[in-house]
Amino acid sequence: MASFDPQRPNVLFILSDDQGAWSLGCAGNDEIRTPHLDALAASGIRFTDFFCTSPVCSPARASLMTGRIPSQHGVHDWIRDGNIGESRIDYLAGQPLLTDHFAAAGWRCALIGKWHLGASDAPRPGYVRWFAHQSGMSRYYDAPMCDGKRLVDAPGYLTDVLTESALGFLAAEATQREPFWLSLNYTAPHYPWIDSHPREFTDLYRDCAFRSCPDEPPHPDSATGNPATDAGHAQRRESLVGYYAAMSAMDAGIGKVLAALDAQGLTQSTLVVFMSDNGMNCGHHGIWGKGNGTRPQNMYDTSVKVPCLIAQPGRIAPAVSDAMLSGYDVYPTLLDYAGVPAPRAAAMPGQSFAAVLREGRAAPRDDVVVFDEYGPTRMLRTRGWKYVHRYPDGPHELYDLATDPGERRNRIDDPASGDVVAALRARLERWFARYVDPLQDGAIKPVIGTGQLARSDHGAHDAAAFAAAPIAALEIPSR
């Protein structure tokens, strides 16, 4: 019945969609209702300074699966085409995935939920269960899914459908002796928000003041044309009710999955990881959206900082850690922690933080710094400074986080900051020069945040690999 060996743990990897690090009760939000995630945080480690590798879903998810940055794996924007059918594209073809190593070492792998890395209707080798969303987002009721290779509309509320599918997988694993890896990738709390979630969860926020989200004028660079995020400005309260309700509905589903693990006696032999693909602004900085909530793309902490909770009672001591970590660190960490052998590929940017999980101490680094990229926009973040560089010629940004943690005053043109800018720019350029595949370099590709249409193959630098057309409105049924 799965693994009962804490040293060879099952892995439950739960990934939410567009969730700000600020949107958990355990992170200090006293309005949102996330009791099961709060309890998970209390039983393990909550990381307060965890960053995605790119503030939009597909490149961030590709980095989690490959351990590489977008300018290595070639996914630079959210996947707009190539998801299913004859036009399917495997955007990660030929690249070893984290789950490939686990499957080779005997773990039984499953995906339930959002994939959004192309070829959703072509199950990855080594998976014993594949139940993937056909694209990356949709209506929440009767959502389009791929059950293996079969295209279906899954009846019911999608968060519940994914939860029930996960419970079914866990029940089926009762007859197996090998450990499992379950990727449970919810689409929540991604839009649509308004009239899209059960009343038992929207009613939780009927009288909420939403003090936890700023009510600010639109950012001067706000991206428009997406009906759901445009509604965030025009229908702020209704959008926040939907966003918070989506979170609470997901939290309730996670509670059921964790309870099933406990009922099967698997809690101490299962590593549970909960995180989001990227952050989210719900009015923060006057933005509704994440990195592509502005043109040009932004790197605000609310876009790049994500929640991260990791627990395995009996092996991981409860703690709150301020270790500065990135999504590119996940790949080497989970292999290290689970004792899964994998060849160390050249030019892998991440470092294992398994020592933090086992012993509560930070992994050694040359300095406390993380890097981020979204097409031609790149970021270097230390504890005290954030530098944002946009190719080819700006605008650039510099924030003194010690005195301006809200990133309100851009000091890039302050003469007193000249030495800081020069030092951070040189360090950013050295780091990316070390890891970027010149043929996959996002700095020279036309990434503007409206979706990627084709693989960014070696030698392909033309605009045909990316989209510039407006995003079509969704048909969202009311509930």
The DSSP-derived string for 352-396 is --HHHHHHS-PPP-SSSEEEEEETTEEEEEESSEEEEEETTT---
- Assess whether pLDDT exceeds 80 at residue 479: no
pLDDT of residue 451: 94
- Assess whether pLDDT exceeds 90 at residue 414: yes
pLDDT digits (tens, 9 = 90+) for 327-344: 999 999 999 999 999 887
Tell me the pLDDT band of 467, cut-offs 50, 70 and 90: confident
pLDDT of residue 475: 40
- Assess whether pLDDT exceeds 90 at residue 390: yes
Tell me the pLDDT band of 362, cut-offs 50, 70 and 90: low
Tell me the pLDDT band of 140, cut-offs 50, 70 and 90: very high
pLDDT of residue 470: 64
**Beta bridge partner(s), residue 154:** 143
- Which segment of 89-93, 223-227, 418-422 scores lowest on mean pLDDT? 223-227
- Assess whether pLDDT exceeds 80 at residue 23: yes
Query: pTM score, two decimals?
Result: 0.96
- Assess whether pLDDT exceeds 80 at residue 469: no
Give the whole-angstrom CA distance, residue 354 versus residue 271. Answer: 12
Residue pair 312/268 in contact by the 8 Å Cβ criterion: yes
Report angle CA 231, 234, 238 to the nearest 5 degrees: 65
pLDDT of residue 67: 97
pLDDT of residue 142: 97
Q: What is the mean pLDDT of residues 38-46?
A: 98
In this predicted model, which residue has the larger pLDDT, 479 or 352?
352
Report angle CA 435, 436, 439 to the nearest 5 degrees: 150
Classify strands 10-16 and 270-276 as parallel, antiparallel or unpaired. Answer: parallel
pLDDT of residue 463: 65
- Assess whether pLDDT exceeds 60 at residue 319: yes
- Assess whether pLDDT exceeds 90 at residue 458: no
Classify strands 377-382 and 385-390 as parallel, antiparallel or unpaired. Answer: antiparallel
Q: What is the dihedral of CA 11, 12, 17, 19, to 10 degrees?
A: -100
Give the whole-angstrom CA distance, residue 349 versus residue 328. Answer: 7
pLDDT of residue 343: 80
Q: What is the mean pLDDT of the chain?
A: 94
pLDDT digits (tens, 9 = 90+) for 148-205: 999 999 999 999 999 999 999 999 998 899 999 999 999 999 999 999 999 999 999 9
Token output for 85: 């059918």
The DSSP code for 221 is T
pLDDT of residue 381: 98
- Assess whether pLDDT exceeds 70 at residue 461: no
CATH fourth-level superfamily of 10-366+452-465:
Alkaline Phosphatase, subunit A (3.40.720.10)
- Assess whether pLDDT exceeds 70 at residue 359: yes
Q: What is the mean pLDDT of residues 67-88?
A: 96
Q: What is the mean pLDDT of residues 243-249?
A: 98
- Assess whether pLDDT exceeds 80 at residue 363: no
% pLDDT > 70, the chain: 94
Q: What is the mean pLDDT of residues 305-328?
A: 97
pLDDT of residue 384: 96
Tell me the pLDDT band of 471, cut-offs 50, 70 and 90: low
Q: What is the mean pLDDT of residues 397-425?
A: 97
Q: What is the mean pLDDT of residues 462-470?
A: 67
Chain centroid to Cα 246, Å, comes to 16
- Assess whether pLDDT exceeds 60 at residue 269: yes
In this predicted model, which residue has the larger pLDDT, 364 or 153?
153
- Assess whether pLDDT exceeds 70 at residue 312: yes
Other CB atoms within a 10 A radius of the CB of residue 63 amount to 28
Residue pair 57/277 in contact by the 8 Å Cβ criterion: yes
pLDDT of residue 31: 98
Other CB atoms within a 10 A radius of the CB of residue 412 amount to 17
Q: What is the mean pLDDT of residues 84-89?
A: 94
Q: What is the mean pLDDT of residues 295-315?
A: 97
Q: What is the mean pLDDT of residues 415-438?
A: 97
Tell me the backbone φ, ψ of residue 11, rounded to 5 degrees.
-125, 120
Residue pair 287/281 in contact by the 8 Å Cβ criterion: yes
Q: Please report, as a single letter, which amino acid is at residue 373.
A: E
